[in-house]
């Protein structure tokens, strides 16, 4: 790969860099170095937990289309609404209406999760055992081979892979997700922050935080692990009171119904709720070392 000419140089205090952090992201991203003026001191993980999606070990058996359910004599109540592929969701919000569209388009939207074993279900499970599904690695490791991993419906769906700008999806339909998405779950007391965090993650400021933790590959491909998401920098949201949120929720509902949600909309809403300087403080350096290096900073890697 041919290097581009350096366009900027600067000093980095090695004592302020996290030994376990992603230094390459810091060197090539246009965002503050930790410990320097303008660096947020909070992380998404302070308010939310991020977990990977559900791994079934045999999607063709555990995830069915609505016609398949009826073909086997099963009921929709034997299944949970689920998204199985990232390409199935294209908007900023997934609603009940969006889910019905997926069902009608023939997508695998139902995850097997029976409450009881009626005769029709018993027959379907017998077909799975005859095909050896129960002997596959993941099903064989579960306490009950045909029951999925215990995962609540995430509040926000986080794309594992993305190209260029990621899209964090507000899960208004309460869908469960396979491993195509990670899930963000508010910690106790932070439930009211869901709409604000969703807006922040999709804003320009959120994109900058994403650039500090993502793993990047060729042709603009990005990847996030759950711990990466929890490490994303964010303003201090602890001072946001629950009574401030209903107006924001109403604004989201209106914008969604009028189809006006865009990248610019996120920036506007975030500016209304969190001024550009809100809760940004300069942390005190935790290490006295003053070793530093002068490094060239390229405006963009060609393969990023």
Tell me, yes or no, whether 42 and 64 share the same domain. no
Name the stretches of the chain with pLDDT < 50.
1-8, 28, 31-38, 277-304
What are the pLDDT digits (tens) for 235-270? 888 878 888 888 899 999 999 998 899 999 999 999
In this prediction the pTM is 0.81
Task: Give every CB contact of residue 56 below 8 A, 6+ residues apart in sequence.
Answer: 62, 63, 111, 138, 139, 148, 178
Residue 18 covered by a domain: no
Residue 287 covered by a domain: no
Size of the chain in residues: 304
304 sits in which H/E element = none
Tell me, yes or no, whether 113 and 164 share the same domain. no
Tell me, yes or no, whether 171 and 117 share the same domain. no
Tell me, yes or no, whether 29 and 158 share the same domain. yes
Full residue range of the structural domain in which residue 264 is found: 24-51+154-177+187-278
> DSSP string of 257-269?
HTT---HHHHHHH
Tell me, yes or no, whether 128 and 235 share the same domain. no
Question: What total of structural domains would you count in the chain?
Answer: 2
Tell me, yes or no, whether 75 and 124 share the same domain. yes
Tell me, yes or no, whether 86 and 219 share the same domain. no
Tell me, yes or no, whether 134 and 208 share the same domain. no
What local confidence, expressed as pLDDT, does residue 277 receive?
42
């Amino acid at each position: 790969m041919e290097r581009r000419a350096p366009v900027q140089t600067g000093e980095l205090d090695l004592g302020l860099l996290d030994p376990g952090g992603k230094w390459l992201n810091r060197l090539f991203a246009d965002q503050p170095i930790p410990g320097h003026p303008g660096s947020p001191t909070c992380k998404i993980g302070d308010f939310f937990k991020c977990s990977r999606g559900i791994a079934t070990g045999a999607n063709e058996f555990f995830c069915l289309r609505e016609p398949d359910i009826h073909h086997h004599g099963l009921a929709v109540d034997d299944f949970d609404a689920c998204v199985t592929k990232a390409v199935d969701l294209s908007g900023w919000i997934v609603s009940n209406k969006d889910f019905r569209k997926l069902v009608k388009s023939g997508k695998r939207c139902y995850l097997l999760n029976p409450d009881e074993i009626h005769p029709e279900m018993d027959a379907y499970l017998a077909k799975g055992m005859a095909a050896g599904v129960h002997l596959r690695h993941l099903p064989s490791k579960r306490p009950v081979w045909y029951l999925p991993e215990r995962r609540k419906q995430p509040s926000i769906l986080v794309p594992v892979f993305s190209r260029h700008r990621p899209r964090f999806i507000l899960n208004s339909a309460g869908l469960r997700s396979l491993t195509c998405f990670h899930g963000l779950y508010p910690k106790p007391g932070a439930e009211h922050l869901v709409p604000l965090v969703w807006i922040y993650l999709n804003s320009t400021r959120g994109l900058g935080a994403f650039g500090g933790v993502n793993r990047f590959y060729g042709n603009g491909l990005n990847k996030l692990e759950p711990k990466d998401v929890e490490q994303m920098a964010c303003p201090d949201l602890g001072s946001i009171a629950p009574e401030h949120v209903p107006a924001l929720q109403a604004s989201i509902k209106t914008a969604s119904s009028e189809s006006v949600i865009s990248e610019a909309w996120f920036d506007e809403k975030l500016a209304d709720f969190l001024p550009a300087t809100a809760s940004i403080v300069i942390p005190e350096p935790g290490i006295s070392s003053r070793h530093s290096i002068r490094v060239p900073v390229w405006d963009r890697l060609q393969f990023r």
